[in-house]
Amino acid sequence: MAIAKTKNALKQRIERFFDSNNSARAEANDVLSSLSGVTDLYIFGGMIRDICLFGSKGFKSDIDVICNSDKKSLINALNFKNIIEINENKFGGFRISKLELDIDIWCINDTWAFKNDIIKFDDLNSILSTTLMTWDSVLYDFSNKRIICNDDYLKDLLSGRLELVLEKTPNEIGAIVKILRTIYGKHAQILGQKAATMLKRAIITYTPKELVLYENNSYSTKYLNIERIKSISNLLDQYTGIGDVSVTNFSQLPLDL
């Protein structure tokens, strides 16, 4: 399926995802619809990116959701809606488990970059500045059925250009693996200057074996191997730190398992 070219096309894809007879999607829709009657909900990042790139069938992960309430109110809402299978994570959010599609939900104020005074929260658009990469810098307003993103969001997806948004992270190796997985799993074609610079520095810090092991321990789908990481490393060895870098050839390398 072709990449969605407009906000409206992307919105329609997400609406079709939830308006489905598929049991996992219907179940997720029921949970989010129930909670949206208590607090505003915004689907964040990966789900929207994958549906934009590959359509509904291309999304096979968990759903990240931000709510516009405080933590106590969120807990009360989950209890009120009889959603009891929840586990709190180290960042203060909750995973709604025992669903076919896991849902991770947290309060806006508990977003790591806001909580640590790295990004100032002014309005919903501030959330777009808290992501690692441009491809994840997008929200879907579940109640009002609208896409919230920067002007260049779809342009970057269509061109295959991947850039950093926020370099600071509580998990650097996880961030590096995520960038590499976006190159090889989402077929990014171009790295922006900030992304290329961070990746060049990090590949010196972490060995290919460490990066592959992290992916193996963190993801069910595998996109990385030693050869792929060495290929990117060799490319970035020649990078001067100025301008974009083409990674088209590297995103097409075969994965030998």
pLDDT for position 89:
78
pLDDT for position 75:
86
pLDDT in tens, the chain (257 residues): 789 999 999 999 999 999 988 999 999 999 999 898 888 999 998 999 999 999 998 898 899 999 998 888 888 888 877 776 788 877 778 888 778 898 999 999 999 999 999 999 999 999 999 999 999 999 999 999 999 999 999 999 999 999 999 999 999 999 999 999 999 999 999 999 999 999 999 989 999 999 999 999 999 899 999 999 999 999 999 999 999 999 986 554 444 43
Q: Among 142, 165, 147, 103, which Cα is nearest to 4's?
A: 147
Q: Tokens 């896409």 — which residue?
A: 147
Is-contact 119 127, C-beta < 8 A?
A: no
Burial 184-197 (b: 16+ CB within 10 A, else e): bbbebbbbbeebbb
pLDDT for position 251:
52
State the sign of the Cα–Cα–Cα–Cα dihedral 28, 29, 31, 35. positive
pTM over the 0.85 mark: yes
pLDDT for position 93:
86
What DSSP letter does each residue of 4-70 carry, written as one string?
A: P-SHHHHHHHHHHHHSSS-HHHHHHHHHHHHHHTTS-EEEETHHHHHHHHH-GGG--S-EEEEESS-
Residue 128 neighbours by CB distance under 10 Å: 19
Q: Tokens 């709190």 — which residue?
A: 88
pLDDT for position 256:
45
